[in-house]
Amino acid sequence: MSPRLGVLGGTFDPIHHGHLVAAQEVLHQLRLDRVLFVPAGDPPHKPSRPVSATHHRVRMVELGIAGRADFVLSRVDVDRPGPHYTVGMLQLLHREWGPGATLYFIEGTDSLADILSWHRPEQLIALADLAVVQRPGVEVDTDAVERQLPGLRERIHWVQMPSLEISSTDLRARVREGRPISYLLPAAVEGYVREQDLYR
């Protein structure tokens, strides 16, 4: 059987319930076999802030998805030399999973709205379908993007999810400012953030 795989790339600094609910809804609604969580090695989109060390972000993903056989950590991006463009990551996954695999790249509307600024977006939509979830407050004009990137629209699968206004940026700010983060992310991930003294 040819595997149907969701691919959720992210910085995961830290992983939170927005990521997990998005992955679960895509898995269910598109009837996928599993979702690969792919921490970014050296995120080209975030040069402006220091990102936590790779081993911390990988560990938080492991803790966040523990116990779900259909959620799988992929080290494909952290174990390769840069630059870490998404197209290269998808090519490696195709090589790893074989020609029959169908990849659904999962992203929020904030990320879709940026797609034209990504490296080789036309190649990105050739390598994977897009499973797009609404990021609260971020609308995207797909007609306008389609004009710049013909073929985009037919690659998009819209997936509904309960709206969760959670972001890693907000979680880091909360920790820094001594505000609570419980229930916004898995308890084991919160425990790790505390134990490793991250985001202070």
Choosing from 73, 115, 130, 166, the residue that interacts with ligand ATP (CB under 6 A) is 166
Least distance (Å) from ligand ATP to the CB of residue 18?
2
Q: How far is the CB of 100 from ligand ATP (least distance, A)?
A: 25
CB of residue 159 to ligand ATP, shortest distance in Å = 10
Residue 136 is classified by DSSP as T
Select 10 or 88, whichever has its Cβ closest to ligand ATP: 10
Burial of 178 (0-12, 13-18, 19+ CB in 10 A): exposed
Decide: is 181 part of the binding site for ligand ATP (CB under 6 A). no
What's 188's DSSP letter?
Answer: H
CB-based contact 26:131 (threshold 8 Å):
yes
Binding residue for ligand ATP, selected from 111, 128, 156, 190, defined by CB under 6 A: 111
Nearest CA to 1 out of 131, 98, 89 is that of 98
Q: Sketch the per residue contact string, 1 through 30, with ligand ATP: x for CB under 6 A, - otherwise.
A: ---------xxxx----xx--x--------
The position carrying tokens 């929020």 is 108
Could you report how far apart the first and last alpha carbons of the chain are, in Å?
47
Q: CA-CA distances (angstroms) from residue 20 to 1, 24, 122, 128, 166? A: 26, 6, 27, 20, 11
The verdict on 135 binding ligand ATP (CB under 6 A) reads yes
Is residue 78 a contact partner of residue 92, using CB atoms and an 8 Å limit?
Answer: no
Among 91, 123, 167, 196, binds ligand ATP (CB under 6 A): 167
Contacts (CB under 6 A) with ligand ATP, residues 20-79: 22
Residue from 29, 31, 36, 28 nearest 6 by CA: 36
Residues 136-165 that bind ligand ATP (CB under 6 A): 164
Nearest approach in angstroms of CB 163 to ligand ATP is 8
Total residues binding ligand ATP (CB under 6 A): 18
Q: For ligand ATP, give the closer residue by CB, 88 or 133.
A: 133
Chain contacts with ligand ATP (rule: CB under 6 A): 10-13, 18-19, 22, 107-108, 110-111, 133, 135, 164, 166-169
